[in-house]
Amino acid sequence: MRVVVATSNAGKVAEIQDALQDLGWELLALNDPRLPRLMLPEETGSTYEENAALKACAVTAQTGLVALADDSGLEVAALSGAPGVYSARYGNVGSDTERNLYLLEQMRGKTERAAKFISVLLLSYPDGHLETYRGEVQGELLQGPRGQNGFGYDPLFLLPDGRSMAELSVQEKRAISHRGRALDALKAAHAHGLPG
């Protein structure tokens, strides 16, 4: 099956391609020269599911192909679940590094450090059929960044084994992360070549 990976985030593309390589799907990036010039819509939904559907359905509408979107976020207990669905825009700053500094600023003086990552993967089909898969991982926020791998909030996310998410290889992150878990569910549903 030919599937357009409906994300502009290079970190997500790397993790999705790595995890799905044994499904035998032909994964096309948004900027694949065989595709028309594609635009992702504004994320106006109030849930990960709604935003993932907006992205995937827009790409299916523009290409006539199956599309796979990921909407994800970080939820921090001491910030009442923020930044959540607004994770990409948190603090209105331009880079992951600045966003992490902004988050640390919001966390200053807070002893409750519990946080979780959530990923919702959504497949949209040209006949309008949708499939969703959700994964979560619990952790804590560090006091400062650690590690060089991954993307986004990974350097601030402490796992129960004492490593930050940015200290894991792509394969290690896949085994334990929110996106890895959602990808496992998608793979299990498609293991026999059937839509889930």
Residue 40 in the binding site for ligand ITT (CB under 6 A): yes
Residue 150 in the binding site for ligand ITT (CB under 6 A): yes
Helices (H), the chain: 10-20, 48-63, 96-106, 170-176, 178-189
43 or 172: whose CB is closer to ligand ITT? 43
- Amino acid, single-letter form, for residue 195: P
Single out the residue of 104, 99, 98, 135 nearest to residue 117, CA to CA: 135
Q: Is 15 annotated as a binding residue?
A: no
Any catalytic annotation for residue 18? no
- Amino acid, single-letter form, for residue 67: A
Is the link from the previous residue into 33 a cis peptide, with omega within 30 of 0?
A: no
Do 118 and 107 touch, CB atoms closer than 8 A? no
- Amino acid, single-letter form, for residue 80: S
Whole-number minimum distance, CB 36 to ligand ITT, in Å? 17
Stretch that binds ligand ITT, among 21-29, 60-68, 144-152, 181-189 (CB under 6 A): 144-152
Residue 181 in the binding site for ligand ITT (CB under 6 A): no
Binding site for ligand ITT (CB under 6 A): 7-9, 12, 40, 43, 55, 70-74, 87-88, 117, 150-154, 177, 179
- Annotated binding residues, as ranges? 7-12, 42, 71-72, 151-154, 173, 178-179
